[in-house]
């Protein structure tokens, strides 16, 4: 092997190592959030009930939960072990990413640059650490795209591609956008293979039919898809720009609505660099070979066709399906395309200046993220307060009732205390005026471990309440309502984050 070849392999290996280490950065600093708790809850069901429980959720296929259940069986439910699961799949995704670059005939510089974008992506780091299906989706979708390009180039691997695509659509419904893009690509570039790709599509659809039937059965009980997608708005121009910034953003990702949407003094120059490279590339396309042109259009198709399909679906359907995490299927084609533009810069000094500026901006973004530290969500309050309650009430001889006023609080309290179901009763209080809860969170369908009541149910001799607000205020619900009923309010335990406070307080009848 030539010295130059060894040097490039060393550079690629170093970037891959950085990619892996970044996925372990702050891995266990944050608590499990609502969707992660649902993942673990689903995986804790026995095999007989797991599929029906997931089907009632309506919006996700079951493969991720099957894999997670197996993972928990092997190593338990420690926070590190649970978070290691998506990190593992995100790490394996490096293999098809590199192989895809080789199938696209990218040179060493473009591959190294693409891997750098891939490693530093704030969105990819976030979803590599979340106990959800997005790390699996990234990995399986990349295997699908690589195998598809290989099938176009060599005519090999049709069976494996079909199997991978079945796994892909069983991982997430957005996997169908990848499959459809592959059908479009064959129609455009190699119609001679259209019969094979249609066979792949039919076999994939047929294999998916049992799950469609299971979801259809679940909709006979509750067909309210909008309940799952209340957080997703119809995409507009601002949404598109935010998504573009998410594609480019190194290290940072917006955790909640109160956080800045982007480090604009990082992403705007990066966007300018990419647009500049695209303009220069467009003016010199005559020098490209036919294979290079086809590979460019393939990347363009896989980077933007799923986005276009989701945009159309979001406006045609009664609810939007738009979400950055769903578009994890396009991040790899996009960063490869971006690296392709930058590598095609013909003016040496301009190319060098662009590379230096790019890595300088990435380094600043890394320092800023390091200074920012791991964010703490107010939603972490409920698990922490539940743990405190477990300790203070460990000697209680009667069941302790905890009244909460949000589904997200109820679910978190139940999850933290689920091994003591006989000792603690979690009760969700509905319909108290002035108390508004986030519609993005709701108790899972088919789940009845949390009781519900209205305000009239608050009539015990002794109980606890948990709620959040900006400040402790006895002139506002729920405290005001209890005081008016003659209850004595104890000293609260307080958890503070994101400009809010969560309170757990003992309440007694005078």
pLDDT at residue number 351: 85
Question: Both 277 and 398 in a single domain?
Answer: no
The reply to whether 350 and 465 lie within a common domain is no
The dihedral over CA atoms of 184, 310, 330, 211, expressed in degrees to the nearest 10, equals -80
8 Å CB contact between 256 and 380:
no
- Specify the number of domains making up the chain: 2
Q: Which two tokens stand for residue 414?
A: 């139940």
Asked if residue 399 and residue 345 are part of one domain, the reply reads no
Residue 315 lies in a domain: yes
| 246 lies in the same domain as 209 | yes
Say whether both 119 and 184 belong to one domain: yes
Residues 365 and 390 grouped into a single domain: no
Looking at the structure, tell me whether residues 142 and 173 fall in a common domain: yes
User: Are 386 and 350 contained in the same domain?
Assistant: no
d(CA 246, CA 238): 12
Kindly state whether residues 146 and 194 are assigned to the same domain. yes
Q: Which of 372, 396, 430 is the last residue of a domain?
A: 372
CATH number at residue 418: 3.40.50
**Considering the domain boundaries, does residue 187 fall inside one?**
yes
Q: What is the pTM assigned to this prediction?
A: 0.94
User: Residue 405: its pLDDT value, please?
Assistant: 93
Q: Which domain holds residue 223?
A: 49-372
d(CA 92, CA 143): 10
Distances (CA, A) of 59 to 171, 227, 230, 233, 292: 11, 10, 12, 16, 38
Which pLDDT score, from 0 to 100, does residue 504 have? 95
Residues 328 and 423 grouped into a single domain: no
Q: Are residues 121 and 77 in the same domain?
A: yes
314, 344, 372: which is the final residue of a domain?
Answer: 372
Which of 313, 340, 372 terminates a domain? The answer is 372
Q: Identify the pLDDT of residue 440.
A: 78
474: which 2 tokens? 């006895």
Confirm whether 20 is domain-assigned.
no
In a domain, 13, yes or no: no
Task: Tell whether 322 and 427 lie within a shared domain.
Answer: no
Q: What is the pLDDT of residue 3?
A: 54
**pLDDT < 50: residue spans in the chain:** none
């Amino acid at each position: 092997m030539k010295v130059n070849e060894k040097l490039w392999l060393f550079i690629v290996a170093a970037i891959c190592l950085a990619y892996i280490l970044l996925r372990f950065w702050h891995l266990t600093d944050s608590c499990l959030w609502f969707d992660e708790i649902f993942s673990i809850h689903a995986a804790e069901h026995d095999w007989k009930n797991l599929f029906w429980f997931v089907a009632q959720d309506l919006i996700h296929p079951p493969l991720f939960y099957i894999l997670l259940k197996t993972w928990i069986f092997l190593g338990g439910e420690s926070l590190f072990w649970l978070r290691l699961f998506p990190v593992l799949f995100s790490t394996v995704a490096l293999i098809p990413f590199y192989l895809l670059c080789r199938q696209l005939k990218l040179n060493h510089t473009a591959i190294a640059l693409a891997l750098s974008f891939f490693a530093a992506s704030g969105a990819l780091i976030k979803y590599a650490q979340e106990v959800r299906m997005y790390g699996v989706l990234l990995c399986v979708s990349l295997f699908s795209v690589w195998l598809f390009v290989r099938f176009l180039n060599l005519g090999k691997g049709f069976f494996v591609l079909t199997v991978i695509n079945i796994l892909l659509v069983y991982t997430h419904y957005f996997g169908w956008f990848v499959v459809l893009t592959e059908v479009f690509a064959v129609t455009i570039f190699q119609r001679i293979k259209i019969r094979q790709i249609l066979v792949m599509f039919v076999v994939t659809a047929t294999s998916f039919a049992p799950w469609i039937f299971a979801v259809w059965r679940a909709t006979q009980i509750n067909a309210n898809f909008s309940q799952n997608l209340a957080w997703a708005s119809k995409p507009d121009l601002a949404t598109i720009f935010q998504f573009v910034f998410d594609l480019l953003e190194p290290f940072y990702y917006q955790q909640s609505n109160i956080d800045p949407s982007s480090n604009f003094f990082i992403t705007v120059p990066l966007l300018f660099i990419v647009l500049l490279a695209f303009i220069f590339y467009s003016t010199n396309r005559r020098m490209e070979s036919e294979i290079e042109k086809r590979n460019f259009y393939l990347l363009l198709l896989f980077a933007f066709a799923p986005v276009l399909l989701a945009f159309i679906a979001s406006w045609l359907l009664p609810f939007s399906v738009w979400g950055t995490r769903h578009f994890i299927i396009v991040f790899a084609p996009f960063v490869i395309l971006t690296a392709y533009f930058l590598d095609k810069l013909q003016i040496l000094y301009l190319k060098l200046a662009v590379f230096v500026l790019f890595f300088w901006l990435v380094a600043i973004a890394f320092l800023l993220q390091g200074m920012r530290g791991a964010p703490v969500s107010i939603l972490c309050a409920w698990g922490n307060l539940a743990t405190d309650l477990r300790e203070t009430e460990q000697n209680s001889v009667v069941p302790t009732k905890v009244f909460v006023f949000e589904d997200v609080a109820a679910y978190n309290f139940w999850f933290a205390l689920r091994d003591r179901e006989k000792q603690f009763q979690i009760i969700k209080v509905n319909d108290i005026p002035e108390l508004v809860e986030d519609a993005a969170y709701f108790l899972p369908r088919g789940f009845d471990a949390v009781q519900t009541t209205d305000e009239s149910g608050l009539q015990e001799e002794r109980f606890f309440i948990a709620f959040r607000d900006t400040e402790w205020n006895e002139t506002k619900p729920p405290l005001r309502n209890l005081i008016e009923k003659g209850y004595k309010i104890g000293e609260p335990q307080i958890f503070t984050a994101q400009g809010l406070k969560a309170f757990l307080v003992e309440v007694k009848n005078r």
